[in-house]
Amino acid sequence: MKKGRRTSPIPPKEIRKAFELYLDRTTQKQIARELKVSPMTIHRWSKKYCWKEKREEYIEDWTKEVVKGKIRKDESGFLF
């Protein structure tokens, strides 16, 4: 990866993709490698957009849905 500043702005969909990977418990280092940005960029995005708090909310909401029975396992064990 070439060092230095990027000359074009990062598209919002790239930041969204990074967050989706973060929700899937992908490490920041792996996200950086996949999106071809520095690990520090991913770290800054995670702080700026409060990824940790959002992931905790997502997991809490998802767990409530499982408990309510809205999300259940099929015969193969996958959740849907």
Q: Band of the pLDDT at 38, cuts 50, 70, 90?
A: very high
Q: Where are the domains of the chain?
A: 12-68
56-73 pLDDT, tens digit per residue, is: 998 888 888 777 776 666
Q: DSSP readout, the chain?
A: ---S--SSPPPHHHHHHHHHHHHTT--HHHHHHHHTS-HHHHHHHHHHTTHHHHHHHHHHHHHHHHHHTSS-B-TTS-B-
What percent of the chain is predicted at pLDDT more than 70? 79
User: What pTM, to 2 d.p., does this model score?
Assistant: 0.69
Q: Mean of the pLDDT values across residues 28-32?
A: 96
Q: Mean of the pLDDT values across residues 3-26?
A: 86
